[in-house]
Amino acid sequence: MYKPPPAWSGGRPPPGPRKERTLEPNSRRAAPAVRRPSLRSLFEGAGDRKEDFMRKVLIALVVFLLAAAASAKELSVLWFYDDPSELAFVKQAFAEYTAQHPDVTFKLNTVSYDNLFTKVTQLIAGGTPPDIVKLTDVRPEFAPFVLDLSKYEGKDFLKPFIPGVARGMERGGKIIGAPLDVTANGIILNKSYFQKAGVSIPNEQTGWTWTEFEKAIREVTTKTQARFPLVWDVTPHRWLTFLYENGGSIFKDNGTANGFDTQASINALTKFAAMNHDGLMPLSVWGGTDNPRDLFFSGQAVAWMSGSWQVKAMEDGIKNFDWTAGPNPSVTTRSSVLGYKFVSAFNTSKYPADAADFIRFFTSKEMQRKYAQQLTVIPARTDVGTVDYGNPQATEALNNLAYELKISPLAASSDVTNPAIAYVWDTLKENIVAVTLKQETPQQAVTKVSAAIDKGLAATH
């Protein structure tokens, strides 16, 4: 039974019953003590966290690589070359372009020039043409597959290039390629033999006639250890030099009609065959298997009809005599023949814009200057200016050959850039050889070649 406490009588009051304290919302209260984790607890579960982190990094890396692979563009390239330094230059150009465009890489395949057109035709027939190709001509069998660069680089893309070769890159309102360099046919001379024989070589501006030239090289032959006054490359392109020097041509009327069925063609065929039988040239070249380059390099020939593309090889390979080029002799006309190499793309490419852009880069002013210097060639652009080749003989020879091209008749550039010429080359060579070997008359050869010209014109105009 509860008893109340006694009444307070003074002094300290007795303790009363405890009351529960409640905290007001804003009242302050000491924070509970924080329990410090032990060292062991810090590492408990760390392995799981590390695995989770690595898993996330791996997933991110895979996603990145897949995205990169999806955006990578590999351009296949088919290239022919004679000088290994050209291949090194091309590979360096690939590296420079990829450095500027990391998503674009290149797969390079090489082919000999003799097999170039066969290879291109085979790749197209097999459905695997390259994205980019180096060419000297667009043959009818693959012309429909060539990319129109004007769609990507504009209609004025070819303006900086030499007009004659630019004209050859325009067909049917399309731009079928970009020129790399130009070549000029010309007479290459053993300068040391002329000096030893005491026979002078006229300057480019003065020149000489075929009669004067023939007399000079025969005299040099008799006064030196040379075996032959003249050797001549076995190609119809080089033979055209003599056709133009005789006043002839393949086409006429702005390239729309046959210009070969003339007396000038008969004269050129007749005289050329005679030169192979009268001691001026060895019949073993056009009528056999002797290599004119080997005969000249070995000092067996005084003069050699070839062209500017040989300068690099002579610079590197001829050490026992001095050489030069030009002037080309004239019959009725003084002439060279334009040659050119160019880069094209195919419209079957998965990346046509990238292929076109690389061609723009590779044939730019700066790249053409480097290309000309390193490969000892004549640039195809008119804005490159004077090129220092770093060798007096090479500089003299290339300047002389460029001059020959400059003063040549229009046919020397327009004939070889006419698409119908693709139908003529083989027939022309076969009949030059036939006349040289006295298997047919010059008139018979003219008739056969004219038929090929007419066929080509019908197919392309």
pLDDT in tens, 420-443: 999 999 999 999 999 999 999 999
Token pair belonging to 268? 């050129």
Q: What is the pLDDT of residue 251?
A: 98
Confidence bin at 42 (pLDDT 50/70/90): very low
Q: What is the pLDDT of residue 71?
A: 59
pLDDT in tens, 90-100: 999 999 999 99
Mean pLDDT of the 25-42 span: 47
CATH (one of 3.40.50.10780, 3.90.120.10, 3.40.50.1000, 3.40.190.10) for 68-182+340-379: 3.40.190.10
Q: 311: exposed, middle or buried (C-beta count within 10 Å: 0-12, 13-18, 19+)?
A: buried
Mean pLDDT of the 389-407 span: 90
CATH of domain 185-338+404-460: 3.40.190.10
pLDDT in tens, 284-338: 999 999 999 999 999 999 999 999 999 988 999 999 999 999 899 999 999 999 9
Confidence bin at 11 (pLDDT 50/70/90): very low
Q: Count of CB atoms within 10 A of residue 190's CB?
A: 25
Whether 185-338+404-460 and 68-182+340-379 are alike in CATH topology: the answer is yes
Q: 305: exposed, middle or buried (C-beta count within 10 Å: 0-12, 13-18, 19+)?
A: buried
Q: What is the pLDDT of residue 162?
A: 86
Compute the mean pLDDT over every residue in the chain, rounded to the nearest whole number.
89
Q: What is the pLDDT of residue 36?
A: 54
- Please, are residues 317 and 88 in contact by the beta-carbon 8 Å criterion? no
pLDDT at 345 over 90: yes
Q: What is the pLDDT of residue 61?
A: 63
Q: For the chain, first and last CA: distance in Å?
A: 134
- Please, are residues 418 and 259 in contact by the beta-carbon 8 Å criterion? no
Domain ranges of the chain: 68-182+340-379, 185-338+404-460
Q: What is the pLDDT of residue 354?
A: 98
Q: What is the pLDDT of residue 46?
A: 54
Q: What is the pLDDT of residue 125?
A: 95
Mean pLDDT of the 65-74 span: 64
